[in-house]
Amino acid sequence: MMESKPDSPPKAVPYAGYLIKAWRLFVGVWNAIGDRHVGVIAAGVAFYGMFAVFPGMAATIAIWSIFADPAVIQSYLSEIRDVMPSAAFDVLQTQLTALLSAKPGTLGWATAISLGVAFYSVHNGVAALISALDAISGYRSRSAFRKLAGSVLLTFAILGLAILALATVVIVPVVLGFFPIGIGEVLILRVLPWAVLIFVLLIFLGMMYRWGPNAQSARLPWFTPGSFLAAGLWAAASIAFSVYLANFGNYNRIYGSIGAVIALLMWFYISGYIVLLGAILNAEIVRQRSPQ
């Protein structure tokens, strides 16, 4: 009589644990979107961003003109127009042209006072985003003084990042002129504006996610899953919104002469929503990794 073999333990399904964790993470992010009113908070971020973008352009022109020709800003904006809705691009391009064509005596950034006003407007936009990140991440806001100091430092850092990006776009072609590398030079110059855009976006998200919220635990690293998610979604959503406006949406027919402004505001809303979504993903990852 043959002895029966003991039953072998059931084989584990490959990657089952990862799938369960991914599902829990998805559910946590989905619930947080509704519980923390991401849509409403993103609308506030878009409102403040609308008031910050034009002073931010003026401040960037003011600082950049100290070192080089500010017209390079217009050239760089034209290089990345494909990732922006056409209506939003037209509004930014028109205002940028007006700033660049103004006489030095009438340009707002020509005096320290007007530059300070521009900086204050940009700071308000940064402070609004910091408050939104605190609310989304479930952190208690800093004291008034610490919040002011942090938002001012981040505003300086963001303006410095913009100047660094412009400097890269200007310096690299000059360096390639001294050290030509043949056919690869054309490819580098074509890819450079997009590489700079991605770099600036990831560093901006890294700064905001790392130093924006009043995290009670260790600071997040510079590059996080939320940063990569937000960067990818922002590029895809911007292109999709551009296609929608070009083929289906007609804001001018509905809103008349302010249709382009409404389209720009909508683009800011989409961008703000995606930035907050990345923050939620980071916060949910931290929450699920922490001991219960």
pLDDT in tens, 98-130: 777 765 544 444 556 767 777 888 888 888 888
CA distance 86 to 264: 9
CA distance 34 to 82: 32
The H-assigned helical ranges of 248-291 are 251-255, 259-289
Handedness of CA 30, 35, 39, 45 (dihedral sign): negative
Type of residue numbered 113:
I
Instruction: Pick the most confident of 53-57, 118-122, 198-202, 230-234.
Output: 230-234
Report the predicted TM-score, pTM, of the whole model to 2 decimal places.
Answer: 0.78
Contact 199, 215 (CB under 8 A): no
Contact 270, 47 (CB under 8 A): no
- State how far the alpha carbon of 38 is from the alpha carbons of 35, 164, 215, 257, 290, in Å: 8, 31, 19, 30, 23
Contact 49, 125 (CB under 8 A): yes
Q: For 220, phi and psi rounded to 5 degrees?
A: -70, 155
Tokens of 78: 């034209």
> What one-character-per-residue DSSP string does the chain give?
-PPPPPPPPPPPPTTHHHHHHHHHHHHHHHHHHHHTTHHHHHHHHHHHHHHHHHHHHHHHHHHHTTTS-THHHHHHHHHTGGGS-HHHHHHHHHHHHHHHHS-TTT-GGGSHHHHHHHHHHHHHHHHHHHHHHHHHHTPPPPPHHHHHHHHHHHHHHHHHHHHHHHHHHHHHHHHHHHS--THHHHHHHHHHHHHHHHHHHHHHHHHHHHHSS--SSSPPPSS-HHHHHHHHHHHHHHHHHHHHHHHT--HHHHHGGGHHHHHHHHHHHHHHHHHHHHHHHHHHHHHHHS--
User: pLDDT per residue over 229-269, tens digit each?
Assistant: 999 898 888 888 887 777 766 666 777 777 778 888 888 89
The 3-state DSSP class for residue 31 equals helix
pLDDT band at 1 (very low <50, low <70, confident <90, very high): very low
Instruction: Pick the most confident of 96-100, 175-179, 215-219.
Output: 96-100
